[in-house]
Chains A and B, each alone.
Chain A
Amino acid sequence: DNSVLREQLAFIFAEWIRVYQLPTSNDKDYGAFINSIQQQGVLKGEEISSLFFRVCTEMSVESYIKYKVTNTAAAYQGVDAFVKLIVTLVKHYSDPQGVNHSGAKVTYLTTLLSIIVLVLAQAHEQRRGQFNQKPFLRLFSGLLTEMMTSYESSPAMYFQILTAFSNTFHTLQPLVFPGFTYGWLSLISHRAFMPKLLLAENGKGWASFQKLLVCLLRFLIPFLVGGEMRDTTRELYKGTLRVLLVLLHDFPEFLCDYHFSFCDVIPHSCIQLRNLILSAFPRNMRLPDPFTPNLKVDLLTEIHQPPRVLSDYTSSLTVTLKRDVDTYLRTREQAPFLENLREILAMDPSNQDLYSGGSKYNVPMINSLVLYVGVNGIAQLHATSRTNSDAAAPASAATENGTENGTAQEDSNAVSSPQGTSSSPIAQTAPMDIFQRLLMELDSEGRYLFLSAIANQLRYPNSHTHYFSRVLLYLFFEASQETIKEQITRVLLERLIVNRPHPWGLLITFIELIKNPRYAFWDHAFTRIDPDIEKLFDSVSRSV
């Protein structure tokens, strides 16, 4: 029933395109046009202004679809004109109460963005196989560029604008609009968006961008777990790698601090993708070459510093499990949950979906449990070593090994004790009980996921890397079954034989495993189980 009104609004937009096209047009002409449509009441009242922007969006998209056959630049004239109209309107917009103009502008922009989302959603739903993402990509990228040009010099408002775009892109995520996937990844990695959001002061844009990246990785799961890659997946995976490489190169701290969130949604078959994230390290850190002969990791001061973990890594633990773990870590009294770990960590069948990675286990819960127990283990170690050093005479603060807390050295010495028990500070502790229980209770798949969760903490020199490296080596040494030693080796090896990059902590741990005679690595039958495997180990040990 509003076709007549639509026709009139369409004519107004066509008139705007003409004004925009004139090479002689300037801000004065644009302002005059805005005033004229204001007087016509086009912008007055939510209903008619929403209809006007909806008509503008639809006309821009249609004119692209119609003209794209002959000439891309010309085909985008409607879209580019619409971008200019939005930017001009936001610029002219002011707070009716005259109080907070920048806030009013951002709210106004958010309204316009939501109308564009509505038109995209309708086109995505109705046109399906014919849905064309390009005009919407052009529209959003044009707005990002123009907003950067106009407002980058006012950081407070500009950050609000970036947040509005971030929320819009979160709405448009591939899980909801798969037909917009390639355009969406172009937008979230756009140089007028990704770096601007990540460079916002004090990292206040990091949480928003991390959410977008998790959306992408989550969407990828069923396409990557399947194994055979279609062209669509291969292109999307390659684009993802390119974006992550820019992040690794320019914003490694961002990848470091959110590594846990990303590892939760990266299928364990995407080893190189995960290595890329785990290889990130703070730019102010200098990593000693892992291949340095007799490298004394224990002497690095960084191994006493906890890494910053911005992900909420306990969110995947149920309240009950967290409570039981806390009780056990505190009292170390036998607890029922230790008998039911396999059930507790199994994936709830009702939650099983395409995006849970196809495992029968709840991988995020395993990851959370391992890191949570480990963090408590490190805290206990520090508490213990403080108590010991308080009790002992000051002179023995540096033990005979010349290291501060001697734990690592003592640790590696300790594992060689003849009777096989160990006085290592990480042994005979509540955290280690839980880790060893996990190793015994879980089946092969569960054990693999558990060991992977530990390997995900082997990153740049920090207290987590150091602790989990020792845990893994200790579990290897203490394992009574050959298959467990084999599986620990596999979890490390499969991360090393893929193309670079390789996380520093992973290399350090594997070098220790194959070089330190304590672990008698080469005596194990599985290193010679098959000529190819033997060759593989030889080549890796040579490169190491």
Chain B
Amino acid sequence: LSKDVGFFAIQMLETSFQFLPEVADTERPKYYTPKNPYPTPSYYPQLPPPALFETSATFEKFDIDTLFFIFYYQQGTYQQYLAARELKKQSWRFHKKYLTWFQRHEEPKAITDDYEQGTYIYFDYEGAWCQRKKTDFRFEYKFLE
């Protein structure tokens, strides 16, 4: 193993150290499964109603906050896909760089082939979980999902 292999090993070991495994990486979260579930009366539905959350009609009824909740906390699921579709229908646009949704607050001041610029509302999912206003924002289309 020549010297530069040593350098490669050191560099890649740093990379591996950067992503040091944590508990959540190998342990599946233990969901509570009742040992002896209380028998609910038969007139209650025993299973979630089939496909209720599989149709976009259901998602039209959800308010915007619920749609954002499903989008950010049911990631990788079909429901996320339906929520995203509903948000788009309501004129929200996903920004791939900021990983959040923007909606025009008014007609943009400038629209070119590469971007549009103006005042927008965007959803702050990291901070206060609310909608915020952003003036003079340039939405580059290369970031439009």
Contact = CB atoms under 8 A, between A and B. Distances in A.
Would A and B touch once assembled, by the CB under 8 A criterion? Answer: yes
Interface of A: 17-18, 21, 23-24, 63, 67, 69-75, 77-78, 80, 124, 128-134, 137-138, 141-142, 145, 174-175, 177-183, 186, 190, 219, 222-223, 231-233, 235-236, 353-355
Contact of A182 (B16, B47, B73): B16
Contacts of B110: none
Given A178-B9, A222-B6, A232-B14, A73 B76 contact: no
A73 B5 contact: no
Nearest to A177: B12
A80 B1 contact: no
A386 to B, nearest CB: 49
B17 A232 contact: yes
A178 B76 contact: no
B17 A137 contact: no
Contacts of A232: 10, 13-14, 16-17
A182 to B, nearest CB: 5
A141 B26 contact: yes
Contacts of A178: 8-10, 12-13, 16
Contact of B21 (A23, A137, A223): A137
B42 interface: no
Given A133-B21, A174-B13, A232-B14, 13 more contacts: A71-B73, A72-B24, A74-B76, A77-B75, A128-B12, A142-B28, A178-B8, A178-B12, A179-B13, A181-B16, A183-B19, A222-B9, A236-B17
Interface in B2-35: 2-3, 5-6, 8-17, 19-21, 24-26, 28-29
Contact of B16 (A23, A183, A353): A183
B15 A179 contact: yes
19 contacts: A70-B99, A80-B28, A131-B16, A133-B16, A133-B21, A134-B19, A138-B25, A141-B26, A145-B28, A174-B13, A175-B9, A178-B9, A180-B16, A182-B20, A190-B26, A222-B9, A231-B17, A236-B17, A355-B1
Contact of A74 (B3, B47, B75): B75
A32 to B, nearest CB: 15
A183 B20 CA distance: 7
Interface of A is mostly: helix
Nearest to A184: B16
A528 B74 CA distance: 72
Nearest to A140: B26
Contact of A72 (B25, B48, B99): B25
B26 A69 contact: no
Q: Which 7 A-B pairs have the closest CB atoms?
A: A74-B75, A178-B12, A179-B12, A77-B76, A232-B17, A141-B26, A178-B9
Nearest to B14: A232
Contacts of A129: 11, 15
Contacts of A353: 1-2
B81 to A, nearest CB: 9
B125 interface: yes
A78 B12 contact: no
B40 interface: no
Given A131-B12, A180-B16, A232-B14, A138 B76 contact: no
Interface of B is mostly: helix
B113 to A, nearest CB: 26
B134 to A, nearest CB: 20
A21 B77 contact: yes
Contacts of A124: 12
Contacts of A74: 73-76
Contacts of A18: 77-78
B17 A182 contact: yes
B139 interface: no
A68 to B, nearest CB: 10
A481 B12 CA distance: 48
B128 to A, nearest CB: 16
Nearest to A190: B26
B29 to A, nearest CB: 6
Contacts of A219: 9
B9 to A, nearest CB: 4
A77 B16 CA distance: 22
A267 to B, nearest CB: 15
Most chain-B CB neighbours within 10 Å: which of A18, A69, A178, A233? A178
Nearest to A78: B76
A179 B8 CA distance: 9
Contacts of A132: 19
Given A182-B21, A354-B3, A63 B12 contact: no
B12 A67 contact: no
Interface in B33-86: 47-48, 50, 72-78
A69 B12 contact: no
Nearest to A83: B28
Contact of B17 (A190, A235, A355): A235
A24 B53 CA distance: 12
B78 A21 contact: yes
Contact of A131 (B15, B26, B77): B15
B44 to A, nearest CB: 16
Nearest to B47: A24
Given A186-B21, A353-B1, A70 B75 contact: yes
